[in-house]
Structure 1
Amino acid sequence: MDTAHQLSIVYRYIEQLVPYARNARTHSDEQIAQLAASLREFGWTNPVLLDGDSGIIAGHGRVLAARKLGMHQIPTIDLAHLSEAQRRAYVLADNKLAERAGWDAELLELEVADLSGMGFELGVLGFTTNELASLLGTAEEPALSAAVNEERFLVLVDCGSEHEQAKLFGEMTERKYVCKLMS
């Protein structure tokens, strides 16, 4: 790689970042809640891409999720070497190219089943409850991880829509409740 274009991760204050006004990608409240859950579970794994002047090229949803979690600094990478046309095109390409990927159905089912068997919280994967039930071959809740010497109580909440369910799930996980999604 040309040394003039080597990438460096720099932590910046969220307040300094400027969303791209013509970003055609939208983010629902449900998706922001899912991104926030992912950030809580995995931490930052994908820095926000900037234009060299604090303008966001890619990572608008992650920034919204970080704000929701009350984060003040986030990792960023400057792509100041891109031309204006390249930056604007990358805003679109970054999102569209990710959509075009597919899944190996057998490996996906195996991986989700293994994670469920390990007691991992499948809700942070981004799949709907119906998709998870289909992947697991059951409409039942994935197995709960066993806690030793811990008193547990189960509360079942019937939501009117998947959107309401995602919103409530996000609120409860933010309050540090262990939640499982059911369909």
Structure 2
Amino acid sequence: MKFRDRVKGFRRVAAKELLPHPENWRTHSRHQKGALRGVLREIGFTGAVIARELEDGRLQLIDGHLRAETAGAAEVPVIVVDLNEEEARKALLSHDPLAAMAGVDDRRAAELLAAVETESNDLRQAFAKIAAQIEDPGLDPFEGKDEVDIPASYQVVIEVDGEQQQEAVYERMRSEGFNCRVLTL
């Protein structure tokens, strides 16, 4: 099979410098955030986030939004790819679903689960869900839960006069350490 190698480089970049893709469609539960913090505490970064370089030289995330958000000001490994906006959208839409299509070797997964210990309660819960799904592949780990735990989220919406002002306000707030998203309504 022939394919193009779109990786143009590798860098270490302060996570807060990475721009989230405005069309990122993935959401992250409190449990997923906790499990990631557990992995980062116990192991650290073992892979790179993926970003494309914009015309102005800034890097826009395609994969790794939660890792970058969690890392804050710390430097993270970044694979820089040469994708235009349309290609970036395809990568953004396909990356996680392709990984989710992978099957499970129940025996190997059970052996791995038995061999791994963690200090993180959130990570332990994630491993327990894997174990439960091995026991009963039809099991929905969220079935029977009447309530959804939605953590408090405090936000401010700022109306601006155009794209340039929107970008300036966004950059200022990011430089002050706020997690920001750009919305155009």
TM-score interval for Structure 1 and Structure 2 normalised by the shorter chain? 0.5 to 0.7
Q: Which residue of 2 aligns with 1:43?
A: 44
Cα distance, 1:55–1:126 mapped onto 2, change above 3 Å: farther
TM-score (norm 2): 0.59
Cα displacement (A) at 1:85: 1.4
Instruction: Kindly tell me the number of residue pairs found equivalent between the two proteins.
Output: 132
Q: Which residue of 1 aligns with 2:77?
A: 75
* 2:11 counterpart of 1:10: yes
What amino acid is aligned across from residue 27 of structure 2 in structure 1? Answer: T
What amino acid is aligned across from residue 66 of structure 1 in structure 2? Answer: A
8 Å CA contact retained: 1:20, 1:56: yes
Q: Which residue of 2 aligns with 1:56?
A: 61
* 2:115 counterpart of 1:114: yes
| Root mean square deviation, CA, Å | 3.3
- Cα distance in 2 for partners of 1:135, 1:122 equals 22
- After the TM superposition, which segments of 4 or more aligned residues of structure 1 sit over 3 Å from their partners? 4-8, 122-126, 128-136, 161-164
Cα displacement (A) at 1:65: 2.3
Could you tell me which runs of 5 or more consecutive residues in structure 2 were left unpaired when the two chains were aligned: 136-146, 151-185
Which structure is richer in relative contact order (CA contacts within 8 A, separation 6 or more)?
2
Cα displacement (A) at 1:14: 2.0
Could you tell me which runs of 5 or more consecutive residues in structure 1 were left unpaired when the two chains were aligned: 137-160, 165-183
8 Å CA contact retained: 1:112, 1:135: no
Mapping of residues 159-178 of structure 1, within 5 Å:
none
Cα distance, 1:92–1:126 mapped onto 2, change above 3 Å: farther
Listed one character per residue, the Cα deviations across residues 94-129 of structure 1 (whole Å, up to 9, x for unaligned) are 1110111121111111221233xxxx2175377253
Q: Which residue of 1 aligns with 2:142?
A: none
Write 1 or 2 for the structure with the bigger share of strand.
2
- Cα distance in 1 for partners of 2:134, 2:148 equals 18
Percent of aligned pairs sharing the same letter: 25
Cα displacement (A) at 1:45: 1.2
TM-score (norm 1): 0.60
- Give the secondary structure class of the aligned counterpart of 1:51: strand
Mapping of residues 122-133 of structure 1, within 5 Å:
123=120, 124=123, 127-129=126-128, 131-132=130-131
8 Å CA contact retained: 1:33, 1:65: no
- Cα distance in 2 for partners of 1:16, 1:43 equals 20
- Cα distance in 2 for partners of 1:16, 1:10 equals 12
